[in-house]
Structure 1
């Protein structure tokens, strides 16, 4: 394989693996007011790699080469501003942007910097949607176009959202050089909510035709690992959310066919479930219950529900799931939780009893509500089942979900004839 082909494959991989680590260290050095400086330095580093490697070939240790170049560029930048301080002193706070003889790119420095930036990005002054966009751009290295694609939004809209969010970030007095215990406690709930919603955007993805966005799920798990690996944030609640993500991710491959169409839980090939991720989920779930009262957080309950979904067939499985949903709905009601509880109710008490529960919800404006009613009526009233599936199709914005529901209608129509 030629160097050129290897470079074309290697640089995107290195960008995804190293970009956010490099920027995190530089963000922490330059401060939130000057985050663009860090991004420019790292971008210039990758540009130089593209130019240099195409002529001289790929170095023996490409990642180390990138860190050395980034370090040198950062030091050169600070030297220039030290020399011309009198010309730029109005634009730069010299107490905040100080020259250092070296930059620390050790693994510990990278881990500490990434942790600090996660807490900085999850700024309560920004909306949750803006926090997720910032997380994708700053913490995950996603382009504006990629973020717009994930949210099925115009790139210009995302640009404006990011500009406003970055302005709030620069104006924030949050300290990222020394992440205090007080700062962690004040923002941990916001951080977990942001990462939870980021994962859900990938796992359920109501805003994109690609219902399963594995890249978003992977990034959420990667950021959760940063929390898990830090003693200051390795709490039972963090472990509960990590367990949930592992259990849910274990079924990603089985949730869609080759055309990207959703495969319902009961029809999934269990051989495609990742046993490695299930075992990791079990590991984190054990730590989540260490000294924790599980009903105190929704993450514990949702992780326990996800655990039962990944276990082999068990006569009491759905009874356990229903009990957990009964507790979850008391902690934090949501229409989706109510619908999922009703599905579990049907598994325990039958479709006829579940229909009575479902009709109490009166969620007529939600596609998933009519999809559930379509499922519950399928064995007893084909006409009603088809009518609800049709209503679900009219309410969903997802082309793939429309296709999946349409196939159910086709199946039921064949049973009528």
Structure 2
């Protein structure tokens, strides 16, 4: 047993998030997508065995290697279970759909190759774009239904139906993880990039598990985007722009929360905590992204993130506002509209930004009320407090409620002293 490791009930959830999707991807490559449930069952049983074994015997010296060894052994055992083999798998095996256990491995390169192959296989035009992304987030990224619902800002039942239809279509169409043609890769790349974008955002602006930031999701999105830049067929300006955006955003992760997990607003962040090496990497990929004439939403968002990391230019908020103006015309979203209003306030002042915010009328959004609370804070404390209180009622995050409550306390103190 390795000393210094957290208790198994703390370590396992972390490993589950980090390794379950990778394990499933390799197993699906082995079994074929038609039998995805088999792959998911083996991966789930592996973690169940870990929870039981580690509770009694302690955490092994190399927990990750232990998990993959168990998964590999369970896969071999699966083929030895004659009843299941004869009744469900034999015909598929004869037809070459499922590989034999020869060459089955969990090497780093095999994990990387399998995940990329998996995401491109799932992002197939047989399903709608939304369904492709939902399924990729669930299978490849290990997202729960709740997390996917948050990413799409839609209802839980809608997501469940999309996932069910998408899985049914994959089974009926007999999909397998295989090498794709250049044309197929190009046709699916936009959906793959959108999936990685949503994966990163769920980490950077998390709405689940009472966490404001989930760094492991951000790291996973960066890792997969980096793989795409290393392949000539997927090393496109859009891919580089997305990776640049992720690097710029990731550079500020350590400064975005305090030791209690509460959000620190951009203006109050300790800039010495920003990761300069990630900013430099962001600059590198941003230059690569601008090598042609292509302009995507990722280019504009990367540009906005770039200016956020630049503290020397006096006109940086003007640059940011101009980029938001372009972005909102290219792809409108409520979040973009609210972020644009914040930038507008930085350029023209909070008082002028209030009408811009109020005409958005996003009264069911806690972020909308947080924005108005911020804008009213210096002009009308009572209104600011009212909006912060509405934001508290609308948010599900315990950490966010604590942050907003502190802001209300600050304003009340300011009011009583004034």
TM-score (norm 1): 0.79
1:411 to 1:21, Cα distance in 2 relative to 1, 3 A: closer
Counterpart in the other structure of 2:339: 340
What's the CA shift for 1:334?
1.4
Are the aligned partners of 2:248 and 2:302 in contact in 1 as well (CA < 8 Å)?
A: yes
Match of 2:241 in 1: 240
Does the residue aligned with 1:211 lie in a helix, a strand or coil?
coil
- Return the offset for 1:139: 2.4
Q: CA deviation at 1:260?
A: 1.8
Q: Which sits farther off after the overlay, 367-376 or 91-100?
A: 91-100
Deviation at 1:200, TM superposition (A): 1.5
Q: Is the 8 A contact 1:209 1:399 kept in 2?
A: yes
Partner of 1:326: 325
Cα offsets for 1:198-257 (capped at 9, x unmatched): 221222223453222223222222322332232221211111111111211222221122
Structure 1 stretch displaced more, 120-129 or 232-241: 120-129
2: distance between equivalents of 1:375 and 1:266?
A: 12
| Greater mean deviation of Cα atoms: 355-364 or 14-23 | 14-23
Asked if 1:413 corresponds to 2:377, the answer is: no
Checking the alignment, whether the CA contact within 8 Å between 2:186 and 2:233 is kept in structure 1 is: no
Mean Cα deviation higher: 205-214 or 43-52:
43-52
Instruction: Quote the Cα distance in structure 2 between the aligned partners of 1:103 and 1:135.
Output: 23
Q: For the residues of structure 2 that align with 1:76 and 1:374, how far apart are their CA atoms?
A: 59
Check 1:415–1:3 CA distance in 2 against 1; reply closer, same or farther (3 A cut): closer
Segments of structure 2 that go 5 or more residues without pairing to the other structure are: none
> Once the 2 structures are TM-superposed, how far is the Cα of residue 79 of structure 1 from its aligned partner?
7.8
How far is the alpha carbon of 1:278 from its aligned partner?
A: 1.7
The answer on 1:203 being equivalent to 2:213 is: no
Q: Which residue of 2 aligns with 1:301?
A: 300
Mapped to 2, the partners of 1:72 and 1:23 lie a distance apart of 14
SS at match of 2:210: coil
Q: 1:335 to 1:173 in 2, by over 3 A?
A: same
Asked if the contact 1:366–1:395 (Cα under 8 Å) also holds between the matched residues in 2, the reply is: yes
Between the aligned partners of 2:15 and 2:404, the Cα distance in structure 1 is 40
In the TM superposition, residue 91 of structure 1 has moved relative to its aligned partner by 6.5
Structure-1 residue corresponding to 2:368: 369
CA contact (8 A) 1:367 1:395 kept: yes
Show the counterpart of 1:397.
Answer: 396
Q: Which deviates further from its counterpart, 224-233 or 156-165?
A: 156-165
Change over 3 Å in CA distance of 1:207–1:181 after alignment to 2: same
**Contact 1:79–1:99 (Cα < 8 Å) also in 2:** no
1:340 positional shift: 1.2
Moved more, 44-53 or 329-338: 44-53
- Partner residue of 1:227? 228
Worse-matched range after superposition: 199-208 or 189-198: 199-208
Q: 1:291 — aligned with what?
A: 292
| Contact 1:128–1:194 (Cα < 8 Å) also in 2 | no
How well do the aligned residues superpose, as a CA RMSD in angstroms? 4.4
In the alignment, the residues of structure 2 paired with residue 365 and residue 10 of structure 1 have an alpha-carbon distance, to the nearest angstrom, of 37
Distance in structure 1 (CA, Å) of the matches to 2:139 and 2:290: 32
Q: Which runs of 5+ in 1 are unaligned?
A: none
Find the aligned partners of 1:356 and 1:12 in 2 and give their Cα distance.
45
Q: Does 1:115 align with 2:116?
A: yes
